[in-house]
Structure 1
């Protein structure tokens, strides 16, 4: 939704796109309505983009590149950075880091980790959150969340390991159909050569300990082989670099992984649960 306050908080990529698009339009002596007709958007949508009241959507940037780009690729290259502008402020630094990682070791306790979410699951989750968001904002956040999946096929290959608490698989989000699709997607991800997916069973605490009781975590290895911990409690953001603390979290993660079902057994459980969804 176009909002006046967006003009004050718009990120640098959003502002750059707005300036370049406006300058290109004026050089052609087009009105906003005329540019809108060329790219398949309303004149009001063009105005909202040029004033930063509404950041350009991915579809608008593709159309702007086709109509105004002149082969330079400015709007095409801006797509990644405009998506980053749309992220919640507390997540932006980690999002940039995530794109560059050598390896990720993840533990999720409440819902499927964002990297592994389907579009429908993400939309149901984001749209059902609190405080309520506008439909436009929900779609923006779904779009940028889906764009993170490029990490799975990036070169050089990133190694991604995820341990899911079993309760995540059994907690329905959206509908039975959405949940079945999500479980099937997890099964497909588990078969990737650069992905290891394990499930921490509900009864792991019967042995007298549950290493995952402290909550979810993200253990990151950077291209420089630094190891960092990223935590996101209650929509806050915490990036931990202290080697001693990182070591403690890494040891805890290793214990979580040791208490989890093996990859084959985990895949079997996910497939069985997908079959149970109606």
Structure 2
């Protein structure tokens, strides 16, 4: 009965991957225990995956590809679809664009952008959101967020700019230790060749102009050099492709950047907050 309930509540992707894994195991003449030993998992873990009680992890799919994949790439391809399961519904249409982008221009006004979050910062942020989420879902979302970081080392490397409002750096998420580690991680990210980080200071509106008043935005350049804008207000999502609207957002982003501290000044500020010496 539990197995049937698991399958009914699981997504079509989770059910398909479970069936493919079970059929591949049977085709190889392996028991769940034998497959577990060859992949480094317990028989219980294999059973949980095949009954959809526990969706296949990214690592398990990699091991399944090695052991029962027969060089077909089935489970390697399944990794891409299973990763989508770890994203919120509103993010799923944007995720493939992010992973293949030529360039990303990001503007965050409330919290550290998801691509730049440490695991503990992400866990504190997601776990403390409202309405509250079950612990298992929190961990799934955290893993999905962490996996996105592979983008930084992709070949070819995307060019990434991030503008953070200064309040993001002082708004405590989780606790002070989590924030210090988050600041140190931002310092590491800022020193990457393909990353430029800016801080929009709190006094940016001193002279009567403040371009960041309309919140966060993401500007995306695709491999086909199409320019898009992605917005995510209040757990909703909006992907904008109209050239005139995209141009307006790009101009607004450029204005925000012009009001921000330079990369060196921004890094110095974050290093001071992180307690990192030059």
Report the TM-score when normalising by structure 2. Answer: 0.90
Q: Which runs of 5+ in 2 are unaligned?
A: none
Q: Which runs of 5+ in 1 are unaligned?
A: none
Alignment match, 1:48: 48
**CA-to-partner distance for each residue in 1:148-194, whole Å, 9 max, x for gaps?**
11111112221101100000000111222211111111111111121
Change (3 A) 1:97 1:3: farther
Alignment match, 1:227: 227
Alignment match, 1:184: 184
Alignment partner of 1:206: what SS? coil
Change (3 A) 1:134 1:38: farther
Please report the RMSD computed on the Cα atoms of aligned residues, expressed in angstroms: 2.2
Change (3 A) 1:214 1:3: farther
Change (3 A) 1:222 1:62: closer
Answer 1 or 2: which has greater helix percent.
Answer: 1
**Further displaced range: 98-107 or 72-81:** 72-81
State the Cα distance separating 1:197 from its structure 2 match: 0.4
Change (3 A) 1:154 1:39: closer
State the Cα distance separating 1:3 from its structure 2 match: 9.9
CA distance in 2, matches of 1:228, 1:3: 42
State the Cα distance separating 1:71 from its structure 2 match: 4.3
**CA-to-partner distance for each residue in 1:229-272, whole Å, 9 max, x for gaps?**
10001111110111221111111111100000000000000000
Alignment partner of 2:213: what SS? helix
CA contact (8 A) 2:103 2:159 kept: yes
State the Cα distance separating 1:42 from its structure 2 match: 4.5
**CA-to-partner distance for each residue in 1:83-111, whole Å, 9 max, x for gaps?**
12221221111001111111111100111
CA distance in 2, matches of 1:234, 1:4: 32
CA distance in 1, matches of 2:266, 2:210: 18
Change (3 A) 1:51 1:216: same
**CA-to-partner distance for each residue in 1:108-149, whole Å, 9 max, x for gaps?**
011100111111111111112122222222221111111111
CA distance in 1, matches of 2:153, 2:147: 12
CA distance in 1, matches of 2:197, 2:47: 46
**CA-to-partner distance for each residue in 1:30-50, whole Å, 9 max, x for gaps?**
444554455444544333322
Alignment partner of 1:205: what SS? coil
Pairing of 1:49-64 with structure 2 (within 5 A): 49-64=49-64
Alignment match, 1:80: 80
